[in-house]
Amino acid sequence: MEREEFAARVQDIREQLYRTAYGYLGNAHDSLEAVDEAVYQGFRARKKIRQPEFFTTWMTRILIHVCYRELKRRTRQQEVPMEEQGAEDYDGLPLREAIERLPEELRQVIVLRYFTGLTQTETAQALEIPQGTVVTRQRRALALLRVELEEDV
């Protein structure tokens, strides 16, 4: 893939990548940093993409790895928990808090499906799991969110 094609395709999905990063990291600054890092890594590896029709899924997968590294770094440095960060970094909406409390495997599916807008097939490809597993995790996550949010009302 040539530079110009890569740049054009990244530009088309940049907002989607940001929403994904924000879903994982919870604040604007880290999300922008993660997107920039993922684009940089994708650019360096652009010649290795085997199926250009899966470019969005490929870039999303790179971004997820970048987000995981950032989350591990936060854990190692024992940063302030998200609940204690300022409102400018993380909105304290009940839905956001409920999503944060989901198990990681369920949270991944919700972030990719609803905050990023990937289809079930694209989500399965990005997470490298069967599509049926995505459906099951999505259903279970939505049920847990429904119960938790009804308790808050």
Got the DSSP string for 26-54?
-SHHHHHHHHHHHHHHHHHTGGG-S-GGG
What is the model's pLDDT at position 152? 58
What is the model's pLDDT at position 116? 80
User: Chain-wide mean pLDDT for the chain?
Assistant: 84
Q: Give residue-wise pLDDT tens across range 40-99.
A: 999 999 988 888 899 999 999 999 999 988 888 877 765 444 444 444 444 556 787 888
Domains and CATH numbers, the chain: 1-91 (1.10.1740.10), 92-153 (1.10.10.10)
What average pLDDT does range 26-41 have in this prediction? Answer: 92
What is the model's pLDDT at position 81? 46
Write the DSSP symbol of residue 102: S
Alpha helices in 78-119 (DSSP H): 94-101, 104-110
pTM for this predicted structure: 0.64
